[in-house]
Amino acid sequence: MEQWKNVDADEFERAFQLYVLHAAMFTKYCVPLLRKSKNPSITHTASVASFMIGDSIPYNVLKAALLNYTRQSAAALLNNNPADMFGRPKAVTEIDEGDNTFIRVNAVCPGLIRTNLMPDQAWEMLGTEAALKAIPSRRIGEDWEPAKLFAFLASAKASFITGATIAIDGGWYTTHARV
């Protein structure tokens, strides 16, 4: 219960705008351009914290909301969002064969990744030694590793992947899932 005492409405609202609203607005304004692309794809950056109960309620809750938004928008963007009278995406068998627009939407959930944005002092505060013991691969990820995953998901090689959430965390989530 102590965590809820420290939740600040302004912090929660800023986090909502950053993690969820911006993704929704990006989708809204980019979809018309993406529909003209040969291989349209959107990949959101979530976090393994999306799956956890942790110390930062706004961060964890809203990154989890981003995962749900990813699945919702993946379903909505199947073939230009053909929908039935209730707004549900139509079954593939109901979609006009002339419509080949397929915008893929996925999410990547990095774990601890070393980047230039995180100064050495932050790693010391995280307790790098303790973090390494908690990660089955016994190392922190390098910035190029999630970058390659993002590039793959944007490529035609990932043309059958949509609505997916992929953790890239050295196995940390598999051994620490609490939700």
How large a percentage of the chain has pLDDT more than 90? 37
| Mean confidence (pLDDT) of the chain | 80
Inform me whether the pLDDT recorded for 81 exceeds 80. Answer: no
**Pick the residue with more confidence: 50 or 79?**
50
**pLDDT of amino acid 91:** 54
CB distance 63 to 95 below 8 Å: no
Task: State mean pLDDT over 73-91.
Answer: 64
Residue 130 host element (H or E): helix 128-134
**pLDDT of amino acid 8:** 82
Residue type, 115: T
**Pick the residue with more confidence: 32 or 106?**
106
HEC string of 62-104? Answer: HHHHHHHHHHHHHHHCECCCCECCCCCECCHHHCCCCCCCECE
**pLDDT of amino acid 44:** 97
**pLDDT of amino acid 1:** 52
How large a percentage of the chain has pLDDT more than 70? 75
Task: State mean pLDDT over 63-78.
Answer: 92
Inform me whether the pLDDT recorded for 144 exceeds 80. Answer: yes
Inform me whether the pLDDT recorded for 73 exceeds 60. Answer: yes
**pLDDT of amino acid 127:** 59
**Pick the residue with more confidence: 153 or 132?**
153
